[in-house]
């Protein structure tokens, strides 16, 4: 309880500081800990590399509470109202949907409108490779209707047939390897769902994910080759790619025109290497601190060339910060502000 009270007091102080900051000269800054709390408005000295009307900044709630493992949370658990408020306070305009948020659409929309932001994407798990077409389609249709209600157009999908990212095993050596028949079932199923999304004016974006059958560059190539580019787009997740020994800049350059959604996840290389050496599970790797946000000087990924490649390809859509961290070790508000400040400096947004 003391931790929650402390976090709430920090939020109040931050609101006061933001009011002070906006009244300061453009180059003035107020600092708390190692976070540079500059004004949330884009700098007038920086020309945005993206169209501000077509590119939006969001952050997932996984720095506050983890959907794959709800035990990665504070004690007592951080209430969803605080998560939404801290995201809004950090200057982001969207958040990935979470099981912790209100599931009643009317209640959710009221909470979102109160904070002037929206849901950037829902997460859809499919099971085409294990023959479960019916549930795959059912989950997709539910999330498509949800996004219609919210007013968004992006649906994130990943094939979870045989996935081990939630299992107590090392994800890379134990992930599923699909047969030719499974690949055919996957590409056929995704093309069908993608065609429905396309007809509804939406985009189905595939998320290569650690511990699943689409993880490596060869996997991504095969998926892209086997699906219709009109129906299936690619989600660029920098952290999952790096974790799987894939250079995110290479993927960005290769598929820049097909990338329609982005997760900006940073990696603490020393922690990740130790996790792999110990054979830690994906969730234990999260607990150990393998992931962090863009702008953290302990992170190894250089986001500037990645963002510049996307800008060169006239990227439109969401840039979503994602750091799956233990909130008891990494203050979520602090890291959200760190990422928002970094993106302002690099993109001008």
Residue 70: predicted pLDDT: 87
**pLDDT per position as a tens digit, 335-347:** 999 999 999 999 9
Residue 67: predicted pLDDT: 86
Domain assignment present for residue 217? The answer is: yes
Asked if 263 contacts 235 with a C-beta cutoff of 8 angstroms, the reply is yes
Residue 45: predicted pLDDT: 54
Domain assignment present for residue 112? The answer is: yes
Domain assignment present for residue 216? The answer is: yes
List all residues 6 or more positions away from 72 whose beta carbon is below 8 Å from its beta carbon: 65, 66, 283, 286, 287, 324, 326, 327
Mean pLDDT of 13-39: 35
Domain assignment present for residue 131? The answer is: yes
List all residues 6 or more positions away from 342 whose beta carbon is below 8 Å from its beta carbon: 293, 294, 295, 303
**pLDDT per position as a tens digit, 294-322:** 999 999 999 999 999 999 999 999 999 99
- More confident position, 114 or 8: 114
- The predicted model scores a pTM of 0.88
Confidence of residue 68 (pLDDT cuts 50, 70, 90): confident
Q: What CATH number has the domain bearing residue 276? A: 3.20.20.150
Domain assignment present for residue 183? The answer is: yes
Number of domains in the chain: 1
Domain assignment present for residue 36? The answer is: no
Residue 15: predicted pLDDT: 38
Domain assignment present for residue 27? The answer is: no
- Give me the domain span that covers residue 110: 43-347
**pLDDT per position as a tens digit, 233-265:** 999 999 999 999 999 999 999 999 999 999 999
In the block, residue with structure tokens 């690949």: 183
Mean pLDDT of 315-336: 97
**pLDDT per position as a tens digit, 263-298:** 999 999 999 999 999 999 999 999 999 999 999 999
Domain assignment present for residue 30? The answer is: no
Mean pLDDT of 87-97: 97
């Amino acid at each position: 309880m003391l931790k929650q009270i402390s976090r709430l007091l920090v939020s109040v102080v931050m609101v006061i500081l933001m009011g002070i900051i906006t009244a300061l000269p453009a180059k003035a800054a107020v600092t708390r800990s190692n976070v540079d709390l500059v004004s949330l408005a884009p700098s007038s000295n920086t020309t945005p590399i993206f169209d501000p009307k077509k590119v939006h900044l969001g952050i997932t709630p996984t720095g506050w509470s983890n959907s794959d493992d709800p035990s990665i949370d504070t004690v007592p658990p951080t209430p969803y109202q605080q998560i939404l408020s801290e995201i809004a306070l950090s200057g982001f305009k969207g958040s990935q949907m979470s099981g912790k948020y209100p599931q009643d659409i009317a209640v959710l929309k009221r909470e979102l409108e109160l904070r002037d932001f929206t849901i950037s994407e829902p997460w859809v798990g499919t099971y085409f490779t294990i023959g479960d077409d019916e549930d795959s389609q059912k989950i997709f249709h539910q999330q498509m209707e949800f996004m219609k209600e919210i007013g968004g157009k992006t649906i994130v999908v990943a094939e979870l047939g045989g996935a081990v990212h939630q299992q107590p095993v090392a994800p890379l050596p134990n992930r599923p390897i699909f047969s030719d028949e499974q690949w055919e079932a996957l590409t056929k199923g995704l093309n069908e769902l993608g065609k429905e999304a396309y007809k509804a004016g939406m985009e189905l974006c595939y998320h290569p994910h650690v511990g699943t059958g689409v993880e490596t560059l060869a996997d991504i190539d095969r998926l892209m080759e086997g699906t219709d580019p009109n129906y299936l787009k690619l989600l660029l997740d920098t952290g999952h790619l790096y974790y799987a020994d894939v250079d995110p800049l290479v993927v960005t350059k290769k598929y820049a025109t097909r990338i329609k959604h982005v997760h900006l996840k940073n990696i603490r290389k020393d922690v990740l290497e130790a996790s792999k050496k110990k054979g830690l599970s994906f969730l234990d790797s999260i607990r150990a601190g393998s992931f962090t946000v863009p702008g953290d000087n302990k992170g190894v990924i250089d986001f500037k060339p990645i963002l510049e490649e996307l800008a060169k390809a006239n990227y439109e859509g969401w840039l979503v910060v994602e750091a799956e961290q233990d909130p008891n070790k990494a203050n979520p508000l602090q890291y959200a502000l760190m990422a928002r400040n970094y993106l302002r400096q690099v993109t001008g947004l």
